[in-house]
Structure formats: structure tokens, C-alpha cells
Amino acid sequence: QKEVEQNSGPLSVPEGAIASLNCTYSDRGSQSFFWYRQYSGKSPELIMFIYSNGDKEDGRFTAQLNKASQYVSLLIRDSQPSDSATYLCAVNDYKLSFGAGTTVTVRA
Amino acid sequence: GAVVSQHPSRVICKSGTSVKIECRSLDFQATTMFWYRQFPKQSLMLMATSNEGSKATYEQGVEKDKFLINHASLTLSTLTVTSAHPEDSSFYICSAIPAGGQRTEQFFGPGTRLTVL
């Protein structure tokens, strides 16, 4: 499987702050990138995907992709306690390859 | 739409027994389903790709004779863990791609927690 690297965390941010999550991938030919959120004991749920270089915004979430640097990030604005979860970065070239995930804790 | 179910959600069994896990796409047809395994504090690892009407494709290191996959219809794939042992205790998650849908669009089931005593 393709290598996808993430900082495991935990990342602790105060409520209302911006949480910044990073992910790097090994295969320069990868085309599509996904961010999933996983609550403890649950299966992943898709937050957003990005295919093109640059930023993509969806509500409080912004994904950023830099294919030259093989880097994709996720910003969570106005973090809420309900955002406390593990965030998984995934690269999809037909099969999903997941990073180990970053655990985020939002302090009320 | 695009709901995937798994049954059972939780199972406890004795060492040496076999356990069958079902993955169903409830409101769409899926030619391809994936089976993942997740150990505590670790990420999802793809075990195999299940294609309707053909043999599953297993990832390196996954024993096909131990993890039997059957994808007999466009809405059902089953994973059977044969002669389960405590090291097989894990969270098993399936996902499905709608027939004719983009290959990047996977919908996940809720997962099955397997505990082998």
C-alpha cells in the first residue's frame, strides 16, 4: 500500500481556535485525497476530498493540497468540542490507503 | 442514500470457531466492496477487495484461506474469519462503491467488533 504519514497527536486546541492537521504521501502519482473523521468505536465518515492543488473550503473545514510537496492538510476553524475525534488522511487510487490518524481534542 | 450496513455489530466467540460478518449496501448496488481491519490505536488496513461474481483480491500478508470473502450479489459481501484466534480480535469495517459510481466514492459500514476469547 502507498505510504501516508500523519502526526499521531494528540493535538489539543481550545474551543473556537483553528486546528491544523498535516499529511504527507509517498506516491507522487496519487491523484485524490480524502479526510475522514472517526469517533472512538465508530467507522470513518468523510469530511471532504480534494483533487486539485490549492484550497477547498466546506463550511468550517478547509483542505489544502500541494502535489509538488506531496502534502495535504486540513484546517478546522472555530473548533468545537464535537470536533474531538481522530482525523484520517487517505490517498485513493482505486484503493484507499490511510494514514495512522491524528487525534484532536477540543478543550471547552 | 448510500447506506451500508454490517451484521453483527459486535460478536464474541471462542478460539477456534468461525465467524461470518455481512456487509450490505441497502439502497444501491455495489460491484466492489472493501474489507478493512483496525486494531486499537491504529489506522484502517485494507485486507481485501471484493468483486461481485469473482474472487476477492487480498492484500499482501492477508491469508485468503483464513479470511474467506464471498460477494455473491450486488448488495452483499461476507467475510468469514475461520478458526478465529485472540489475535484476530479487531474492528472489521467494510466499504462499498456504487455500481457505475466514481471509484473514489466509498461508503463505509458501521463496523463489526470481533472479540475472540
- For B42, the closest of A1, A97, A100 (CB atoms) is A100
Residues 8-37 of A with CB under 8 A from B: 32, 34
Has residue B103 got a pLDDT over 60?
A: no
Is the Cβ–Cβ distance between B87 and B56 less than 8 Å?
Answer: no
Q: What is the DSSP string of B57-106?
A: EEPTT--TTTEEEEEEETTEEEEEE-S--GGG-EEEEEEEEETTS-TT--
Average pLDDT over residues A50-60: 95
Average pLDDT over residues A26-45: 93
- For A43, the closest of B49, B59, B108 (CB atoms) is B108
Give the pLDDT confidence score for residue B75 in this predicted structure.
94
Cα separation, B11 vs B79, whole angstroms: 13
Mean pLDDT of chain B: 92
Q: A73 - beta bridge partners?
A: A22, A64
> For residue A68, what pLDDT band results from cuts at 50, 70 and 90?
very high
pLDDT tens profile B45-85:
999 999 888 889 999 999 999 999 998 899 999 999 999 99
Is the Cβ–Cβ distance between A76 and A84 less than 8 Å?
Answer: no
> For residue A60, what pLDDT band results from cuts at 50, 70 and 90?
very high
Residue of A nearest to B61 (CA): A1
Residue of B43, B46, B113 to mutate for A, most A C-beta atoms under 10 A: B43
- For B46, the closest of A41, A43, A95 (CB atoms) is A95
Is the Cβ–Cβ distance between A15 and A80 less than 8 Å?
Answer: yes
Average pLDDT over residues A26-52: 93
Residue % of chain A over a pLDDT of 70: 98
Give the pLDDT confidence score for residue B72 in this predicted structure.
82
Average pLDDT over residues A41-55: 93
Cell representation of residue B105: 466514492
Query: Which sign does the torsion angle of CA A86, A94, A53, A25 carry?
Result: positive
The total number of residues written for chain A in this structure: 108
Has residue A1 got a pLDDT over 60?
A: no
Has residue A55 got a pLDDT over 80?
A: yes
Rg, chain A, Cα only: 13
